[in-house]
Every structure is written in C-alpha cells, then in structure tokens.
Structure 1
Amino acid sequence: MLVAFDRGDDGELFPMYGPTDQQSEERAIRTAKALAGKYVGVIAWSRDADPALGDCGPPNTLFVSGDVPDME
C-alpha cells in the first residue's frame, strides 16, 4: 500500500495520492521514492493478510519520507 500526504490550511495532513495497492513491495518503494519530492509525506507499507478470516497483521513499513500520520 502507498499513500502520499499534503497539509491543509489548518496544518492537518490529508491524503493526496492513495491509498493504492501496489503489485509488489519493490514497486511500492520505487513509487514512494518518486513521490517523495512532490508531497509533504509519503509512506509505503505491507501487511500480512488472511482473506479467508478477514484478518490483517500489523503494518510493515517499507519506506517513509517527510511527515506522515501514525500507522496505529
């Protein structure tokens, strides 16, 4: 997954790009690096998921640049 953020007039972060699912971790990192110079913050992460149970594990941060909200 990948999200890029900007700041509103009130100073709060808001998503400007994404969240988008990426085809691979490598692609997520490459895309995040390309977006890093264009937005206040960018984060790419992966998660282990069990679709049969509808359960997701904790996020695994792949790349972060600038200001991003907490993933918790």
Structure 2
Amino acid sequence: MTQPPRLIVVMAFFRSDDGELVPAFDAAEFDSEEQALRTARQLAGNYVGVIAWSREAEPGMDGCGPPTVLFQSGEIPDVE
C-alpha cells in the first residue's frame, strides 16, 4: 500500500510594529521531514517563531488531514 502524499512545510514569523505575528516569508515546502527539521532549527535563532509541520492528503476528499507539528520554537499563530 502506498503512502498518501504529504505536505511538509516550514514557516517563520516576526512581530510587526503593531505587535502582530506575521510570516517572514511564504511557507517553504520540503520533500522530507529531515530537510524541514534541519531548516527549522537553523531559522529558530533568527525569528520570533518557527514551525515545521506536515499534513497527509486524504484520498477522495478535498483537502488535507490535520497538521502534525514536527518542530516548534518561540511564538507562532494557531495552525489550522
């Protein structure tokens, strides 16, 4: 049985002048959890918050399953 496709993403955040957490850049997609974890750990010291997460595609449904946090550092907004 083949694994369903997975979305693996790293996002970093900074705090805007009005105090809001905002993305530092567009979400970066990765082919493996190892690559995402390595990148997230490298970014962690440079941003207010960093998160790496993954989601599996749900065959026969429009969309993806719930996110699984792989790495989190600092402050991040809620992940949906």
Residues 1:35 and 2:43 aligned together: yes
Taking only aligned residues, the RMSD between alpha carbons, in angstroms, comes to: 1.3
Residues 1:7 and 2:15 aligned together: yes
Q: How many positions carry a matched residue from both structures?
A: 72
State the TM-score, normalized to the length of structure 2.
0.82
Q: Which structure has the bigger radius of gyration?
A: 2
1:49 aligns with 57
Gaps of 5+ in 2: 1-8
- Structure 1 segments of 4 or more deviating over 2 A? 50-55
Identity over aligned pairs, percent? 57
SS in 1 for 2:30: coil
State the TM-score, normalized to the length of structure 1.
0.91
The one-letter amino acid of 1:43's match is: I
Give me the whole-angstrom Cα distance separating, in 1, the residues matched to 2:59 and 2:35.
Answer: 22
Gaps of 5+ in 1: none
Structure that is richer in strand per residue? 1
For residues 12-71 of structure 1, the C-alpha deviation after alignment (integer angstroms, 9 at most, x for no partner) is: 000013311111111101100000000000000000014664320000000000000011
